[in-house]
Amino acid sequence: MDNSVPRHTAIIMDGNGRWAAKRGLPRTAGHAKGAETFRKIASECKNLGVEHLTVYAFSTENWKRPEAEVSAIIGLLRKYLLESIEKMEKDGIRLKLLGDLSVLTPELADLARQTDELSSRITGMQANVCFNYGGRGEILRAVGRLRDNGGELTEQAFSDCLYTAGIPDPDLVIRTAGEKRLSGFLLWQASYAELVFTDKLWPDFSVKDLRGAFEEYQSRKRRFGGI
């Protein structure tokens, strides 16, 4: 890979449930396998020089899913936070949760605080995990914060009120499992992102698939409204 890898890669990790169903397994098994894939892809992104990796882990709509599935996803988040606290400095991957985190249990909120503190002390790729996140809700929250601040309405001022304040807009958005929509993911930030869709279910998404998406990105001509 050359130096034109996307500075900020965002991924909608779709297809965990379908992966499990194809194998006669509970949906929770698909989420566990998907978590393994995330670790592998995050490591490869770091190796390739990506500065930010943002993944859609749990949307505000996902609370409608069966309680056992939701509990399993939250359990995986807890496990990943614990692992990150232990390995973050060695791996050189910072971690930040993005979304409405008011729903976190006291334990998870404390783990998120610890990862923030550790991240501030190390350098390396930043992995942004969107949890209890919805793009429309994020925009409404930003409008409220901007109104409360009483400042001038500019694109930069608005961006500074988003969950992603201080993070560059994504250059590339990848969605797995054959769906071709954003589903509320980074609606403001992805205005000029290149979109790559793949039929691969997220647990089956490989390093080779990631490199293929990057090659597709590198073949695009990004004009940002110009000629």
pLDDT digits (tens, 9 = 90+) for 207-218: 999 999 999 999
Among the listed residues 3, 14, 110, 169, the single catalytic one is: 14
Q: Who contacts 14 (Cβ-Cβ below 8 Å, separation ≥6)?
A: 175, 176, 177, 179, 201, 202
CA–CA dist 104, 3 (Å, integer): 38
**84-131 pLDDT, tens digit each:** 999 988 889 999 999 999 999 999 999 999 999 999 998 899 999 999
Q: Which one of 3, 16, 62, 209 is the catalytic residue?
A: 62
For the question of residue 148 being annotated catalytic, the response is no
Active site residue 62: yes
Report the candidate in 94, 91, 5, 3 with the shortest Cα–Cα distance to residue 43: 91
Cα gap 183→163, rounded to integer Å: 17
CATH class for domain 8-216? alpha beta
In terms of DSSP H, where are the helices of the chain? 16-22, 27-48, 67-91, 106-119, 135-149, 155-159, 207-219
> Is the distance from CB of 35 to CB of 108 less than 8 angstroms?
no
Q: What is the mean pLDDT of residues 17-43?
A: 96
- Residue spans of the domains in the chain: they are 8-216
The whole-number average pLDDT for the span 155-169 is 97
